[in-house]
Amino acid sequence: MKKTLICIAAVLVFAVSACGEKKDAQPGQSPAASEAAESIMVGSVEIKPEYLEYIERVFQSSGAGADSAAQQAREQAIILAKYIAVGEAMNLDISSDYDEYVSLVEQQQGGIEEFKKSNNLSDDTFDFICRADVYQQKLLEQFEAGNTITDEQKDEYFKNHFWRAKHLLLLTQDKTDEEKKEIKKKIDELYEQVKAGADFDELISQYNEDPGVEQNPDGYVFTDGEMVPEFQEGVSSIAESEFNLVETSYGYHIVQRLPLDETPERYEQFKTAAEDKINQAVIGDAFNKYIESKLEEYKIEVVG
């Protein structure tokens, strides 16, 4: 069966070696592991501090700060443990799938032992992540066999979790404080012009510093997590056709929220372009609810 979800565990297995920067493990030093002085239990599945240390390093290698990486490590470790706990409760046989998975890792990483050594990855941590991946895929097959995602669900998700917006960006990256003050003064002037009824498209053509706008003349169509948080919040918090002024790590943006359903043809065009993202999100949401229902059915609780 086609695997329609990206497995968290597989990403974690390959992430550290792929990032090009190996960080030495320091047992007991990571915030996530420090907070989990005692193991977290998901049913009978134990999340050891060393699991949290490794997953936290993965998030840090992707640019997350220490506190954020620690929180994300805890959340992801619990998700992985849930897959194992539910899979075991359902008596799913993963023996052959597990061997195939380990063989795949060996092929792609040039040897299991060298991979574990170079990433400070213990046998237990490696086994935990591999089992989580295999159980997730087994559970996904069970879920897909008994569930159908409808067009109505996809349409509803698109309406509620996608936005369309144009923006005018003035960059502040690598600017001095004095230069940033001048940029802020300029964006304020432009924002006042926009609110007074100036042609926004004309202002974009004159002042915008985002080269991506040229490839997206109808505006950006995006979903949760695709834009920096400040940009998404700046768009989602206003009504269609309204403007907002937001600051991000890139600079200052004047954003205008635009309708997805400007015409029926445009709506279908935008939705078709986002089809893969919609399917992934809808299936992922339904699968998560399926896992939660199984946790309740088998009375599996998170403790710690």
Nearest-angstrom CA–CA distance, 276 and 288? 18
Domain of residue 86, CATH code: 1.10.4030
- DSSP of 96-122: HHHHHHHHHHHHHHT-HHHHHHHTT--
Tokens linked to 79: 């998700």
| pLDDT score, position 8 | 55
Whether 185 and 256 map to the same domain: the answer is yes
Residue type, 87: G
Whether 126 and 17 map to the same domain: the answer is yes
Note whether 170 and 179 are within 8 A (CB). Answer: no
Tokens linked to 236: 């989602």
**Proportion of the chain in helix, strand, coil states, percent, rounded to 5:** 60, 10, 30
Whether 212 and 256 map to the same domain: the answer is yes
Is 271 inside a domain boundary?
no
Quick check: helix, strand or coil at residue 27? coil
Whether 36 and 138 map to the same domain: the answer is yes
Is 3 inside a domain boundary?
no
Whether 29 and 52 map to the same domain: the answer is yes
Whether 99 and 212 map to the same domain: the answer is no
Domain of residue 176, CATH code: 3.10.50.40
| pLDDT score, position 13 | 54
How do the pLDDT tens digits run along the chain, 304 residues long? 334 444 555 555 555 444 433 333 344 445 555 554 567 999 999 999 999 999 999 888 877 778 888 998 999 999 999 999 999 999 999 999 999 999 998 998 889 998 898 888 999 999 999 999 999 999 999 999 988 889 999 999 999 999 999 999 999 999 999 999 999 999 999 999 999 999 999 999 999 999 999 899 999 999 998 999 999 999 999 999 999 999 999 999 999 999 999 999 999 999 999 999 999 999 999 999 999 999 999 999 999 8
Whether 241 and 208 map to the same domain: the answer is yes
State the residue range of the domain holding 106: 8-146+278-303
First to last CA, the chain: 36
Is 227 inside a domain boundary?
yes
Number of domains in the chain: 2
Whether 53 and 164 map to the same domain: the answer is no
| pLDDT score, position 17 | 43
**Close Cβ partners of 116 (under 8 Å, ≥ 6 residues apart):** 122, 123, 126
Is 270 inside a domain boundary?
no
Is 247 inside a domain boundary?
yes
Whether 98 and 227 map to the same domain: the answer is no
pTM reported for the whole predicted model:
0.70
Is 2 inside a domain boundary?
no
Please tell me what DSSP assigns to residue 196: T
Whether 193 and 257 map to the same domain: the answer is yes
Nearest-angstrom CA–CA distance, 104 and 100? 6
Whether 109 and 140 map to the same domain: the answer is yes
| pLDDT score, position 225 | 86
Q: Report the 10 Å Cβ neighbour count for 52.
A: 26
| pLDDT score, position 15 | 52
| pLDDT score, position 18 | 41
| pLDDT score, position 28 | 44
Whether 136 and 222 map to the same domain: the answer is no
Q: For residue 259, what are the CA distances in angstroms to 62, 101, 271?
A: 34, 45, 12
Is 1 inside a domain boundary?
no
Nearest-angstrom CA–CA distance, 295 and 297? 6
Cα pseudo-dihedral 283, 284, 290, 292, rounded to 10: -160
Nearest-angstrom CA–CA distance, 280 and 267? 19
